Structure 1
């Protein structure tokens, strides 16, 4: 096992900069996830750690050894790809033991380790089959088994679950977490799926356009995003962003006025006419009344329902702010089923309000 440290990593393709100033350190034995939208550079970072991609500038250390000029085969890392990369002419046992065979491991030791790994992944009854005789989930577990059998210092996983169906993805995610707990091998996992990132990671590195946006524990990043991009990327449905102008001790959102909490006023000291982007998550919005009903809660915004999506345990409502083009997502109880064009009044939990700089996107509050 080993720590992995990146210092000022850059990657350029001709005149295009794909990765810019990536710096972080994964301590020995931890499970870190690189997450971000497609094209943000996360797979490129992983391939540079593996030695499959050249580093334009910066330094990569594995177990405190500079590996920039060390070939991939000598870095003692195991990479699991999105497409599994199994050898079709080999059996499951031969695929799992291939790395050991290339290292000229003693046949008895090789066979014992293959059997141990197969048992841990529930593959022991499939050892004589070829990849074409396996399901997608079984093929993925064989690819993981090949990596585990090598007992590398570092696991590098590049979107290994993206080809699986939803249920199998959930099951395999649980297996991955249990395996890491058992093996304790330093793991760096790449995904664009924020659910995978939140559930698997001890710490997350959120990337966008080749730059780090935020590093931290998943729940802390969710609760205190560093900027608008992080805030809207994490969470499903995504955080609502409401362009607003400060006026008369409140925020004007479209043609409506939203109260400005005292805590926000005290921290930001906003001035008349100043622009902000307000953030509020769908779960922190409550429908307080329709036009014909009454509630003890004070309504803050009026909206018109556009789309209603019943999801079984809850209802997702997509609405438009009255008198504005701003769209709002509302997460309501399962028995709340308004119709398109219905008008609703909403109460926002202002203690959960986020405020972002409208120009830079940086979080100003909390």
Structure 2
């Protein structure tokens, strides 16, 4: 048995495990090896584990009881995250990495925080951009921008995930894509909520870094672009914030974050989620002069895994779980208010379209 590196146990063997975490772990074999993979589908568990020479199981309890597993990674559907994080902590593992969101309510998040404190097991959430060297370099050089920024823009334009997943690996099974009626109020609301909690949540912690009054949040407008996504204009405290995400069939991807004050512009260009191609590039412009930081050879996925290794070995300070709770409640607030706004707009439009026009009224009379 290998003992020089940390044994990783993975709960859930879907595309995120196959196309993100396994390729990342393959690059940092000096720190980790994959010990066991769990999936409820035995064929997927067996096949994915076979790629990396790991054991497999269909039981969470079996994985958590395995002494070869020191670190647990949770890549299961969102609704299971809180239960599995808590179980991993109570199993006495050395560290836990949970894909976002790590809970689906503030109550769940607070329970996780309490269990982490009780057991001493550190937890990190897979918001990879917060570990990206480009973002970290920007933090070192942006000065007073978090205090003076008045506008924050966060934009994601991506083709369907399978295009990137297939570059990273040969994915075994994935959910079928279906086109939804974005004009239906309930469908539109679900699309916006799902988009914010599944995609926008990656960088909402970055938005929050520039919004000290993040609990003072108002949705000004919310729309669902064609064919799917979200466009949300917010007022957060005294900051103007736009959060935009769209999935298109075009190829050209874009993933950008901007913070703007009267004197400074920060722009960060990230690589798409499944692209293992180095870090983001940060550009800070002041007085007509720009400084560029990056790209660096490592990306945010490697950054979070390296930090996880240091946590497990007691070499790094633990993240403040209160900050993770704030990140989650902020995302939930945006998702709840944006989905309510788009539902109301869609209902209003449906009502207006159902009313007869003036000529129709005359014909009826």
Please give the TM-score of this superposition, normalised by the length of structure 1. Answer: 0.27
Structure number with the higher strand fraction is 1
Structure showing greater radius of gyration is 1
Structure number with the higher helix fraction is 2
Higher RCO structure (Cα 8 Å, ≥6 apart): 2
